[in-house]
Structure 1
Amino acid sequence: MADLQQMAMLLELEQRREDEAAANYAQVQQQVDDQRSRLEGLSQYRLDYLQQLQQRGSSGIVSRQFGQYHAFVGKLDEGVEQLHRSLVKLQQVADQRRQQWLAQRRKKESIKHLITEQQKREEHQRARREQKNLDDFSSQRFIREMQLKARKPTQ
């Protein structure tokens, strides 16, 4: 019984660790989603800006303005690339956190399985003791009945 109590305490500890690992994973996954949204937004802004540039280019723009537009598009490209690199790194962290969470979950499930097996063993032992007690009781009762019959005078 003490083993089960210790294992139950260990299971509770491992459950808390799993919850913490899941929260860490969820947090970084949210950061990945946020970063992906920023990247998509900046990429869309870049495309819109290029379309504006193309429309203005067809109506004619000064060389100096074109250079400014081109420089700004270059800055947007740098921003997109930087966000993309950041997203890749965050995704790697998210993958690591997911693996940590799954490993912790497997550990908790293993302990849960051990507890279940221990409970089955203890239940089996209890049932055997109970059956032995019933058998002993039946045997003693039978012996007493035989002794009583042996004491009674036959008529």
Structure 2
Amino acid sequence: MKKTSALPILIDLSKTTADQAARELQTLVKARADAGSQLEMLQSYRQDYALRMQQAGASGMSASNYHNFRRFISTLDEAIAQQNRSIQQLESRLDGQRSNWLSEKRRLNSYETLQERYRNQQQIIENRNEQRRNDEASINLYHRARLQAEKSQP
């Protein structure tokens, strides 16, 4: 009776888990890229608005317009700071998810290595059994031929 192994089940489960970890990692990488793009947009908008304020100040502007420019730039600075915090959180999650994915990949590779070793051991056993059967068949043929030769001699 052939012994069944739990390794195929473990490998399938590990593949599923590793694939899910990879998808989650990919989602976080995209979220990080999107957050980086949004940060760049906010920084560009802030720089553009500061330049407008400087140009308007050079030609003279009212105190209320100056106050409105400063308040809007301050709001942009807060949005930039919040986006930086958001990016830091995403990077932290990315590091954790990357570690999780690598761990799942190592587990899957370990199971696949064990399965390959098991297959190799089974092949060695099968080769030995085949050799044993061939040796027994050769011995039987030799003995039959010898008996035949003894019977045919006077």
Q: With the length of structure 2 as denominator, give the TM-score of the two structures.
A: 0.95
Unmatched segments (≥5 aa) in structure 2: none
Report deviation, 1:63.
2.1
1:40 pairs with 2:49: no
Opposite residue 111 of structure 1, the aligned amino acid is: Y
- 1:57 maps to amino acid: G
Deviation at 1:28, TM superposition (A): 1.6
**2:9 is aligned with 1:9:** yes
What's the offset of the Cα at 1:97?
A: 0.6
SS state at 1:60 partner: coil
Cα distance between partner residues in 2 of 1:108 and 1:63: 66
Partners of 2:17 and 2:125 lie apart in 1 by 33
Q: Secondary structure at the match of 1:61?
A: coil
Aligned to 1:133: 133
Give per-residue Cα distances to partners, 1:44-77, cap 9 Å, x unaligned: 1000101111111111111221122111111110
Q: Which amino acid in structure 1 is aligned with residue 73 of structure 2? A: V
- 1:22, 1:149 → 2: CA distance? 72
- The aligned counterpart of 1:56 is 56
| 2:61 counterpart SS class | coil
Match of 1:146 in 2: 146
CA-CA distance at 1:153 after TM superposition = 2.6
Aligned residue identity for 2:107? K
Q: Which runs of 5+ in 1 are unaligned?
A: none
**Identical counterparts, % of pairs:** 26
Match of 1:93 in 2: 93
Letter of the aligned partner of 2:68 in structure 1? Q
Amino acid across the alignment from 1:36? G
* Pairs aligned (count): 153
- The two structures have a TM-score, normalised by structure 1, of 0.94
